[in-house]
């Protein structure tokens, strides 16, 4: 099984698992062993699924402002967790390929494997929800057709992205490309780097 097929399999499992509960406060029960790549992938999609629905909730025009702020901060924390997990997945690949001989002409890719996999996880959610739109009883024929067209594009995008991920991993495996990962170094969550946080610190 190619790595992209493994990703798509696990992402689909997680998407359907989340929607058996469809609850942003549901507790994750990861079916894969701790510290395995499968565990990381399942957890990655779970984070994306919960955040997807938090983003829906916060866009309610009648939402209570206090609740909106609470959800916004929860989304911020989720984004940081997502970034940390993507970087953990890249660490997995870096460790996996660290002893591979790099060819003289080898170059690095503008996007690391894990950030491409991040997009594949989001695609799984887009495809699921676009497919759900096709089953809406209250939707117009025009809406259904528009969503059908979008679904076809998303499905093709998943094929293309999956092939690109597998090709990138093959290129790293054969020494035609090498991994060079830059950490995100997000500043707004760091109390030492965000001036609003460190100026308000009373410690």
Q: Is the pLDDT of residue 203 over 70?
A: no
Q: Report if residue 111 sits inside a domain.
A: yes
- Write the CB contacts of 52 (distance below 8 Å, at least 6 apart in sequence): 125, 129
**CA neighbor of 18 nearest in space, from 119, 156, 124, 118:** 124
Provide the domain count of the chain: 1
Helix (H, G, I), strand (E, B) or coil at 175: coil
Q: Where are the alpha helices (DSSP H) in the chain?
A: 3-19, 37-58, 65-97, 113-134, 141-173, 195-200
Q: Report if residue 136 sits inside a domain.
A: yes
Q: What local confidence, expressed as pLDDT, does residue 179 receive?
A: 87
Q: Report if residue 201 sits inside a domain.
A: no
Q: Report if residue 202 sits inside a domain.
A: no
Q: Report if residue 203 sits inside a domain.
A: no
> What are the tens digits of pLDDT across the range 114-169?
999 999 999 999 999 999 999 999 999 999 999 999 999 999 999 999 999 999 99
Q: Report if residue 171 sits inside a domain.
A: yes
Q: Report if residue 32 sits inside a domain.
A: yes
> Please, what sign has the CA dihedral across residues 170, 172, 163, 79?
positive
Determine the straight-line distance between the first and last CA of the chain, rounded to whole angstroms: 53
Per the structure, the complete domain to which residue 163 belongs is given by 3-196
Backbone angles phi, psi at 108, to 5 degrees: -100, 155
> What are the tens digits of pLDDT across the range 156-175?
999 999 999 999 999 999 99
Q: Report if residue 130 sits inside a domain.
A: yes
Average pLDDT over residues 3-29: 98
């Amino acid at each position: 099984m190619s790595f992209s097929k493994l990703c798509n399999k696990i992402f689909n499992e997680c998407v359907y698992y989340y929607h058996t509960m469809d609850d942003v406060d549901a507790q994750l029960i990861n079916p894969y062993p701790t510290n395995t790549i499968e565990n990381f992938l399942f957890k990655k999609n779970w984070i994306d699924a919960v955040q997807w629905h938090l983003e829906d909730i916060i866009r309610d025009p009648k939402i209570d402002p206090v609740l909106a702020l609470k959800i916004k901060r929860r989304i911020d924390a989720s984004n940081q967790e997502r970034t940390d997990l993507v970087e953990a997945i890249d660490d997995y690949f870096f460790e996996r390929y660290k002893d591979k001989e790099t060819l003289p002409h080898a170059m690095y890719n503008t996007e690391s494997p894990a950030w491409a996999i991040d997009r594949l996880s989001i695609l799984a959610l887009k495809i699921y929800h676009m497919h759900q739109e096709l089953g809406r009883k209250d939707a117009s024929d025009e809406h259904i057709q528009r969503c059908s067209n979008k679904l076809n594009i998303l499905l093709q995008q998943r094929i293309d992205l999956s092939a690109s991920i597998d090709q990138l991993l093959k290129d790293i495996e054969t020494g035609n490309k090498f991994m060079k990962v830059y950490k995100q170094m997000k500043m707004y969550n760091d109390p030492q780097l965000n001036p609003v946080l460190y100026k308000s610190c009373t410690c």
